[in-house]
Every structure is written in structure tokens, then in C-alpha cells.
Structure 1
């Protein structure tokens, strides 16, 4: 079985400072907004909907970042082939607000702090996604 999800690295510029959105998921891990594709949606629509649902922010896709693939097991379904499409998304409007049914929190961080949070408490397969997004934004880390 195949499952497609989409999300993004959301950024904004506030007071001439670049900020990156990070969420804390229900397991306490730092991650990026993403979720499953719904029937009739494009992958890009899924990414924007998931960012809005999870964080309260609407945005504009600037460019693709990366597609990550992995497998996981699901009770009664067996092995799932997961494909997650990540985009660089510029925040347009909205109030930062966590979707408490799915995540614990959401915040804006400067790029260096976002990278530190990712390294210390994020999912390993998001390392390259965030690195590529920061590079596209002209930020070098590590």
C-alpha cells in the first residue's frame, strides 16, 4: 500500500529577520507541518492545507524541496510505502496556532535555532529537508 503526504518548511520575514516554523508533534519530536493527501487534492494543495490546519498559517509555495520515502508498518494494513513531498512555503497570513488534536505546539524560530531543534529533537529524515530549505533561503548551517 502507498501513502502520499505533503508539507513544507514555512518561513516568514518579520522586522527584517528570517524565521522558520517548527512544530512539536504529539510524540514530542520537532518536525515540519505535513499530512496525508485527501481524495481530489493535488500534492501542492495537500501541503498548503496541512500547514494551515496544523499551524493556522496560510502560505504560498515557492518551490519544491525534496521527496522523502520510507516504510512503516500499520496494524491490519501491513507495510506502508510512505512518500512525503516537502515544499518551501512563504507565510502569507494567519495567526500561529497549534492544531491541538494532532500537535503539541508550533513556533517561529531563527534559522540557527530551527536547525539546532531539528538536530537535537527532530526526525532524522527531516535533516536534509531543512538543510536544503535553509540553503534555498541563503542560510548556511552546520
Structure 2
């Protein structure tokens, strides 16, 4: 069962620090392609943008465990094999609630998974697999970077660091 925002580590830290200070957001993202080369996207419930599954790490989790949990919570799919390909630490982001975070994120590419895709969850209002040349609606700004960095990782075999 997914934690509520208030129960999550990040929600508790934000509540204790307040709304104005910048805090670290530590988390993971997943990029998953089906057998037809289509990209898995969710339509987020908070801002309705199409995005790759992602979220904040909880205490006691590894980055990999965070990636697996977030994918499962947002899609009903559980990664059984995944590889980290990019690590981001230089970005600061302010969300729609005017909370500012310095992001510490790892992106993973999922090689295999199990389960059945849920189109709606507590964190998503829709989900599906889409051809790269036909991505839906308003999309998250990080999709293009995540895909470009995956291409670089595949080309060089080296973790992308930003």
C-alpha cells in the first residue's frame, strides 16, 4: 500500500522545514519500453502531464528499490531487471505548490517486468505504451532528457552524470 504524502519521508521533512526552504528530493525514475519499442508513460494525477514513472525514496530504500516501488505504485508493473543509466544532482525544481527541491535522482532502464498495466492509480489518471513519434498530450519536461541520456549510455556504456 502506498504512503500518503503526509506519511512519506519527504512529506514529513517538508512539514517540519516549512514551505519556503529548499530541501533535497532523492528519488528514482524508470524508462520502460515494451516489445514493440513503445515507451511507458503515466498521466500524473497532480498536474495531468504525461511522464515516466518516478518518485521519492523512502528511508531504508535503495535507489533501485525506489525505482521498482514507484513503477509498481504508478502502473501496477513490477520491474524484475533494471539498470541505472543516469544520475542527476545539479537540478533545482519548484513545483506547483511552490516547494523547491534540489534533485538527487537516478534513472533506470527496465529490461523485464511482471504484472498487468493499471491505467489508473492513486498517482496516475491514465497510463499506456506509446510510440516515440506519437507521445500524448502535454508531457513532462524530463522525458526528452531521459531518452537522450539513455541513448548516450547505450552508446558509451558509461553512467551519465549531471
Q: Same fold (TM over 0.5)?
A: yes
Q: Deviations over 1:38-64 (max 9, x none)?
A: 111100110011101110111234422
Q: Secondary structure at the match of 2:38?
A: strand
- Mapping of residues 45-124 of structure 1, within 5 Å: 45-69=65-89, 70-73=91-94, 79-114=100-135, 117=136, 121-124=138-141
Unaligned stretches of 5+ residues in structure 2: 1-22, 156-162
Query: TM-score, normalised on structure 2?
Result: 0.67
Cα 1:78/1:50, change in 2 over 3 Å: closer
Cα 1:105/1:43, change in 2 over 3 Å: same
Contact 1:11 1:91 in 2 (8 A): no
Backbone CA RMSD of aligned residues: 2.7
Unaligned stretches of 5+ residues in structure 1: 138-142
Considering fraction of residues, name the structure with more strand.
Answer: 1
Structure number with larger C-alpha Rg = 2
Residue among 14, 39, 44 paired with 1:20:
39
Aligned residues: 129
Q: Which stretch shows the higher mean deviation, 128-137 or 3-12?
A: 128-137
